[in-house]
């Protein structure tokens, strides 16, 4: 399994941490100081150990990195190792435009300046890894036919984010919210009633396309709806659903006034009734779709 020591300056750490996580996902062992250096450790010794034990040193190039004494020191140690082993060890990772050092100028580098995925693909190819695109919360739909990738956990995470966003939105507008249980997974209904009118909008993450579809069928419990009821395309993101719901809630409240009655919220993953006993309620709190702090 290939391994890499990531040399960088602190200002670039958010980028480097994302890069480190994505490299781990495709099977590369990564030495990243935030993960490796613990309280009480000798920073110098840990860095020396990391450079010595890893197959490559990836230097994240930026103006600040090239003026960093730590990066210069790490690069110097890597250069000595490269001369001693007579094999390529230093991998330039071009993150932000800067003047490339002369001894790296003739090297092929992974260019992340304008396109992260392009740069990541270049870097991964050095390790002989063909599956170069790292799965993320934003692109998991691309991996739904890849049996080697656990894309379903990203689907679940996205739906948790959707529920939390829409329930918070419902709280703001005093609407009720009910998340579908095992009878209708990955669905949520938002419902309200004023003195003269009532309104329901339900959204579901549907089928093979994993698109968000909606329906305005008058129903407060999404478990009572069928998949075929969802016939309005909303989008493929939490933001698109939030914008869709916001407009509906805002228009209704402005036209018919504030909802009457106390709103209710049911956000558990499982259907109600015998599926949930009193003894297991505390345990299944962690299986709640809602991850906010307003309920």
Cα separation, 202 vs 187, whole angstroms? 7
Give the tokens for residue 103. Answer: 């001894």
Q: What distance in Å separates the CA atoms of residue 73 and residue 47, rounded to the nearest whole number?
A: 10
The sheet carrying 90-94 orders its strands as 29-31, 3-7, 56-61, 90-94, 110-111
3-state secondary structure of 271: coil
pLDDT per position as a tens digit, 46-90: 877 878 788 888 889 888 888 888 777 777 766 666 666 655 578
Q: For the ranges 23-37, 157-171, 208-222, which has the lowest average pLDDT?
A: 23-37
Please tell me the distance from the alpha carbon of residue 175 to that of residue 100, in angstroms, as a whole number. 57
The tens digit of pLDDT for each residue in 218-230 reads 999 999 999 999 9
Q: Which residues of 68-103 are buried (b: 16+ CB within 10 A; e: fewer)?
A: bebbeebbebbeebbeeeeeebbbbbbbeeeeeeee
- Single pTM value for the model: 0.56
The length of the chain, given as a count of residues = 295
């Amino acid at each position: 399994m290939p391994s890499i020591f990531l040399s960088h300056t602190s200002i670039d750490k958010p980028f480097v941490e994302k890069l480190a996580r994505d490299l781990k996902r495709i099977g590369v062992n990564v030495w990243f100081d935030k993960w490796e250096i613990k309280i009480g450790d000798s920073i110098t010794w840990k860095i020396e150990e990391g450079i010595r034990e890893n197959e490559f040193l990836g230097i994240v190039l930026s103006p600040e990195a090239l003026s960093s004494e730590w990066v210069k020191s790490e690069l110097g140690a890597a250069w000595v190792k490269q001369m001693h082993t007579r094999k390529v060890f230093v991998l330039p990772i071009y993150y932000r435009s800067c003047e490339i050092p002369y001894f790296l100028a003739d090297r092929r580098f992974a260019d992340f300046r304008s396109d992260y995925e392009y740069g990541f693909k270049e870097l991964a190819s050095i390790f002989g890894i063909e599956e170069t695109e790292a799965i993320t919360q934003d692109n998991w739909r691309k991996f739904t036919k890849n049996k080697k990738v656990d894309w379903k956990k990203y689907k679940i995470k996205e739906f948790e984010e959707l529920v939390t966003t829409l329930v918070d939105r419902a709280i703001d507008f005093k609407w009720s919210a009910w998340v579908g249980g095992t009878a209708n997974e990955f669905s949520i209904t938002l419902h309200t009633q004023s003195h003269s009118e009532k309104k329901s909008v339900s959204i579901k993450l549907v089928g093979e396309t994993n698109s968000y579809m909606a329906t305005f069928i008058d129903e407060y419990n999404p478990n009572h709806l069928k998949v075929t009821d969802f016939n309005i395309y909303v989008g493929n993101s939490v933001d698109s659903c939030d914008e869709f719901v916001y407009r509906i809630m805002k228009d209704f409240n402005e036209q018919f006034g504030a909802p009457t009655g106390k709103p209710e919220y049911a956000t558990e993953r499982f259907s109600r009734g015998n599926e949930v006993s009193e003894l297991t309620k505390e345990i299944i709190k962690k299986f709640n779709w809602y991850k906010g702090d307003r309920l």
